[in-house]
Copies of this chain bind each other. A is one copy, B any other.
Amino acid sequence: MPIKKGEKYIQILDAAVKEFAENGYHRTQVARIAKEAGVADGTIYLYFESKEDILVSLFTEKMGDFVDKLKQKLANVNGFREELRTLITHHLEVLGANPAQAMVTQIELRQIDPWINQGISGPLKSYFKVIEEVIRSGQDEGLVCKSLDVRLARKMLFGALDEVVTCWVMTDKKYELVSLADPIFEILESAFCKNK
């Protein structure tokens, strides 16, 4: 029964993001995380069940935040177009501002492991739900074709954003990720909206 909170908990999590981003999940030893966090190896196991648990906690922690903040922003905005723009911008802003975190969520988390996926699917699904709601609201407004398969559209939208972020992470991050928000918005808008 690890204590999933407190100062050390955060320290370890932060150290883990850094190490995972730098060396990849499988290549970073727990001992390295401990060193980076300034705690003893054993201390980690007071806060986490296992190495995998660190990875999962990392994701759920960050993803929970991500979705919460997005929902707040969406509440202050009206109409499908602005919602879509907000969604895209948020995605790029947050990941653009946290390259290490982006690295972890984009790459390290992708390894299939029934256990890891279980831990991840919750928060990720809630993000998917938000995306689908935005698209559906576009349909209600009459801007998006009613016959559009919302699920499929969500997958494509998410996939598109995801790949853009992945490319950015994998290269040297020379450009500002957010600067792509506008062109992406243009493309996705015309993808979903009926031709006027």
A interface residues with partner B (beta carbon < 8 Å): 24-27, 103, 107-108, 110-113, 117, 148-149, 152-153, 155-164, 166-167, 170, 180, 183-184, 187-188, 190-192, 195-196
- Report B-chain residues with C-beta under 8 Å of the C-beta of A183: 149, 152
CA of A162 to CA of B157, assembled, Å: 11
Q: Least Cβ distance of A81 to chain B in Å?
A: 15
CA of A107 to CA of B24, assembled, Å: 15
- Report B-chain residues with C-beta under 8 Å of the C-beta of A187: 148, 152-153, 156, 191-192
Contact A195 to B184, CB < 8 A, known contacts A155-B167, A159-B164: no
CA of A191 to CA of B196, assembled, Å: 13
Contact yes or no, B149 A159, CB < 8 A = no
Number of copies: 2
For the complex of A and B, list the 9 residue pairs with the smallest distance between their C-beta atoms, beginning with the closest.
A159-B163, A191-B191, A156-B160, A110-B110, A159-B159, A195-B195, A159-B160, A107-B112, A24-B112
Closest to A186 in B: B148
Contact A184 to B112, CB < 8 A, known contacts A159-B164, A191-B190: no
Closest to A189 in B: B191
- Report B-chain residues with C-beta under 8 Å of the C-beta of A180: 152
